[in-house]
């Protein structure tokens, strides 16, 4: 993709702008802009770029690995010509993330592929997007078979790993940590868990052809007009007073429903656009692909809130 074409893309523009904020020391704003780009992503190419940049601003090694894996998985679904100059950076970041968690075999594999494609770990990774450089000598073989069974497995594996990791962390919390410690917005760990459950339920409704606002438990007008912060505040107000056990049980039930739906979902439907599932929902365009909606409200969401919950609990120590 030519330099101008990259920068004309709304998702890429936000990611490039995030690096300017980073250099100005405004890291929180940079990360927020990348998450906005992730929400705007309408195809695998855009989702890959956005996830790559979200990973850049994660402070937790597991969260970085998650987003780098998402970026790579989305790249495998993208038009090869659109993504080819970006692949080396994805391999470098994956290699570095696996090295951070002690998986040397995976780290060496991805760094070796990156080197074969012409990018060493010391290269400025933001340049491959901002400058649109051609860095490849050959494309790596896709890790999935032509029957597309792999992408679904990868999505389910990412969901399972994120779910297990977050629930393992929740198992170690005391009652006080669940309900007493609050962040600057007044959120407790219970609030975070219910928030995750409601957005995951909105995906269950989405895949079932039901309005997402009913899954969130909010008014349709608020859902359609937003903004997201107002939606999240409304969810929290409507569920205030919930106990840790009630919050976890709601999430468990929703999670089982989602896994059952995904097990039965045809592989090809992961690439179908938002409007295919909710044709009557107001809005312009066809929206993002289903796999973007699912990942952003499950595995990606788990990683985001796991980091926030850890920070919240540490604040209360």
Spell out the domain ranges in the chain: 3-130, 149-315
How does pLDDT run across 56-75, given as a tens digit for each residue? 888 888 999 999 999 999 99
Confidence of residue 16 (pLDDT cuts 50, 70, 90): confident
SS3 289: strand
Say which residue, 113 or 285, is predicted with more confidence.
113
pLDDT value of position 86: 77
**0.75 cut: is pTM over it?**
no
Nearest residue to 70 (alpha-carbon basis) of 247, 291, 314: 291
| Lowest mean pLDDT across 7-16, 17-26, 204-213, 219-228 | 17-26
Say which CATH superfamily domain 149-315 falls into: dinb family like domain (1.20.120.450)
Write out the two tokens for 176: 């006080």
Domain 3-130: give its CATH code. 1.25.40.10
Q: Is the pLDDT of residue 23 over 80?
A: no
Q: What is the pLDDT of residues 256-267, one digit of tens each?
A: 999 999 988 888
For the chain, what percent of residues have pLDDT higher than 90? 39
* Nearest one of 83, 78, 71, 70 to 5, comparing CA atoms: 83
H helices present in 24-86, as ranges: 27-40, 44-56, 61-77, 80-83
């Amino acid at each position: 993709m030519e330099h101008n074409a990259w920068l004309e893309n709304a998702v890429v523009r936000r990611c490039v702008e995030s690096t300017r904020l980073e250099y100005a020391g405004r890291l929180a704003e940079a990360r927020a802009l990348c998450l906005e780009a992730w929400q705007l992503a309408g195809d695998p190419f855009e989702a890959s770029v956005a996830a790559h940049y979200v990973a850049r601003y994660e402070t937790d090694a597991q969260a970085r690995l998650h987003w780098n894996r998402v970026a790579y998985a989305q790249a495998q679904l993208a038009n090869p010509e659109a993504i080819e100059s970006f692949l080396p950076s994805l391999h470098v970041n994956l290699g570095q993330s696996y090295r951070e968690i002690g998986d040397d075999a995976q780290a060496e594999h991805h760094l070796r592929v990156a080197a074969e494609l012409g990018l060493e770990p010391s290269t400025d990774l933001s340049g491959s997007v901002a400058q649109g450089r051609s860095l490849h000598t050959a494309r790596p073989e896709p890790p999935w078979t032509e029957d597309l069974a792999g992408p679904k497995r990868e999505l389910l594996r990412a969901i399972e790993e994120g779910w297990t990791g977050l629930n393992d962390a929740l198992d170690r919390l005391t009652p006080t940590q669940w309900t007493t410690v609050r962040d600057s917005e007044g959120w407790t760990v219970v609030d975070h868990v219910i928030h995750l459950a409601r957005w995951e339920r909105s995906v269950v409704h989405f895949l079932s052809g039901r309005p997402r606002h009913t899954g969130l438990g909010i008014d349709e007008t608020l859902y359609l007009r937003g903004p997201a912060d107002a939606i999240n505040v409304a969810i929290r107000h409507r569920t205030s007073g919930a106990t840790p056990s009630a919050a976890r049980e709601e999430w468990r039930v929703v999670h089982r429903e989602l896994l059952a739906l995904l097990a039965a979902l045809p592989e090809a439907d992961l690439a179908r656009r938002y409007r295919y599932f909710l044709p009557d929902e107001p809005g312009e365009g066809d929206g993002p692909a289903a796999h973007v909606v699912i990942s952003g409200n499950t595995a990606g969401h788990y990683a985001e809130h796991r980091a926030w919950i850890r920070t919240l609990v540490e604040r209360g120590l």
